[in-house]
Chains A and B, each alone.
Chain A
Amino acid sequence: MAWSMFWTLVWKELRTELRGGRLVASTLALGVLLFLVVGIALNGASNLTADWSAGLFWMVVFFATSIGMTRADVKEQELGGSLGSLLAPIDRSLIFYAKWFSTFIIVLVSEVGMLIAFLVILNAPVPQNPLHFALVVMGGTLGLTGIGSFLAQLAGSSSLRDILVPLLLFPTTIPLFIALIRLTVISMVPTVSGAHIWVEVLVGYLVLFAVMPFLLYETMMEV
């Protein structure tokens, strides 16, 4: 019951996107544009160190997705879809997890494009350990979209929501941000040590923000 409900909700979100939600397109465009701007700011970036390019990659990804996430449920609210799912006889945290998962898929798709821009425009070195790198990107996106959709919901009723989502997202995700940059550097240059600490931070962060919504979402969605 719960699972079929979960997939229904996920599919609903993805279908909205497929019918011209344009979230992928706008996030991707913003991300690529930011890489371009960063490249210009660094005077035609070439020969960036792994530290620099990993940091820039995640900065652009965080920024682009945090802007995109703000718009994610505007359409749904216009069409009354969110009220409909609130009326469904299910645990409300399930709505959150479904939203998390669908946003994860959407952001992951646009990240593929951003990654190509990153490799091409910034001349970044191809990671020496691609599997490791892919896992880091997936884990990072999972954490980013989790807390991102939580905060987007939270700031949804604020009149400053467009600026508040990034403003709240960046400080809360600092641990994730640091862990992702270090892990990305390690996947680019495998000789750097300390992977296990950052995997711990990443997993700990994911667990924290997977459990907390379960406790707080019911309260948050009270009308």
Chain B
Amino acid sequence: MGKSSWFGVIAVAVLGFLCQYFALIWSPPEKTMGNLVRIMYFHVGSAWIAFLAFFVTALFAVIYLIRRNLLFDRIAVASAEIGVVFTSFTLITGSLWAKPIWNTWWTWDPRLTTTLILWFLYVGYLLLRGTIEGLERRARISGIFGIVAFADVPVIHFAVEWWRSIHPQVIDETGFNMPGTMIFTLMFAFAVFFVIYLLLLVLRTRQETQKQRMFLIRQGLQELRAKAFDDSVRGES
């Protein structure tokens, strides 16, 4: 590893420790939830990053379809993958949060349900993209699905929300007024996750670039080999 990447690792570690300190020690407990409110910083922070990541996927899918530069496709898939990772964090921390305060691992809360559906949508996106032959075709088709999936998200959200509001509401989520220290902690956690997201995005995109180059090199090698074989056959006859 080079000097700059060591610097990056140390910076992220420091930010992570600060985040942990602000969230678990410095910020105040909440009246009804007590210390459990501290999960919010991680849960909400990763949820925002996940939505952001999927937005980036849709955005770069659109840009790819207009400009037809495979770099945009690589950014889109990198973002989708990281989005799935952060959606998983959101679901797991949400479940771990719900258990002590609502006494259940899962509720049909609109946001929770939407998030799970989102997870499936983008796992589908990754599977779709992973199983299509041809760089351009793969980019085009997964791009279209990325756009369709993202356009579908608000519809899913409203449908689930109306569905739940017609049923008896089991858990009434009254918004609580956050004091400034809590808002600061939440924003800090979000910022730290955002930095991590950006770093991962760069790394993953770079890896995808290398993968595509490797694919092209292999193709070229195959052609070369076929040509060498042809030449040798011709030489013998």
- Chains A and B touch each other in the complex, with CB atoms below 8 Å apart: yes
- Which residues in A have some Cβ–Cβ distance to B below 8 Å? 150, 154-155, 157-160, 164, 167-168, 170-172, 174-175, 178-179, 182, 194, 197-198, 201, 204-205, 208, 212, 216, 219-220, 222
With A172-B148, A220-B141 as given contacts, are A157 and B120 in contact (CB-CB < 8 Å)?
no
CB–CB B163/A178 < 8 A: yes
Residue B4 lies at the interface, judged by CB distance under 8 Å to chain A: no
Q: Which of B141, B145, B152, B166 contacts A194 (CB 8 A)?
A: B166
CB–CB A219/B132 < 8 A: no
CB–CB A216/B132 < 8 A: no
| Contacts across chains A and B counted by CB atoms under 8 Å | 87
Neighbouring A residues of B137 by C-beta, 8 Å: 157
Neighbouring B residues of A219 by C-beta, 8 Å: 65, 140, 144
CB–CB B159/A158 < 8 A: no
With A158-B131, A219-B65, A219-B144 as given contacts, are A205 and B151 in contact (CB-CB < 8 Å)?
no
Q: Which of A164, A220, A222 contacts B128 (CB 8 A)?
A: A164
Neighbouring A residues of B163 by C-beta, 8 Å: 178, 182
The 5 closest A-B CB pairs, nearest first, are: A175-B159, A158-B131, A171-B120, A160-B131, A168-B124
Chain A, Cβ-Cβ closest to B164: A178
CB–CB A159/B148 < 8 A: no
Q: CA of A56 to CA of B47 in the docked complex: distance in angstroms?
A: 32
Q: CA of A150 to CA of B120 in the docked complex: distance in angstroms?
A: 18
With A167-B127, A172-B149, A216-B147 as given contacts, are A178 and B141 in contact (CB-CB < 8 Å)?
no
Q: A157-B132, A175-B159, A208-B155 are in contact. List 7 more A-B contacts (CB 8 A).
A: A157-B134, A158-B127, A158-B128, A160-B128, A204-B155, A216-B144, A219-B144
With A171-B121, A219-B65 as given contacts, are A201 and B158 in contact (CB-CB < 8 Å)?
yes
Chain A, Cβ-Cβ closest to B143: A219
Q: CA of A157 to CA of B137 in the docked complex: distance in angstroms?
A: 9
Q: CA of A204 to CA of B156 in the docked complex: distance in angstroms?
A: 11
Neighbouring A residues of B152 by C-beta, 8 Å: 172, 175, 208
CB–CB B141/A171 < 8 A: no
Please provide the chain B residues from 25 to 52 with a CB less than 8 Å away from any CB of chain A in the complex.
none
Show 26 A/B contacts (Cβ-Cβ < 8 Å), sorted by A: A154-B145, A155-B128, A157-B132, A157-B133, A157-B137, A158-B132, A160-B127, A164-B127, A167-B120, A168-B121, A171-B118, A171-B124, A172-B148, A174-B160, A175-B152, A175-B156, A178-B160, A178-B163, A197-B166, A198-B162, A201-B158, A212-B151, A216-B144, A219-B140, A220-B144, A222-B140
Q: Which of A158, A167, A197 contacts B162 (CB 8 A)?
A: A197
Chain A, Cβ-Cβ closest to B122: A171
CB–CB A154/B117 < 8 A: no
Chain B, Cβ-Cβ closest to A177: B159
Chain B, Cβ-Cβ closest to A157: B132
Q: CA of A219 to CA of B62 in the docked complex: distance in angstroms?
A: 11
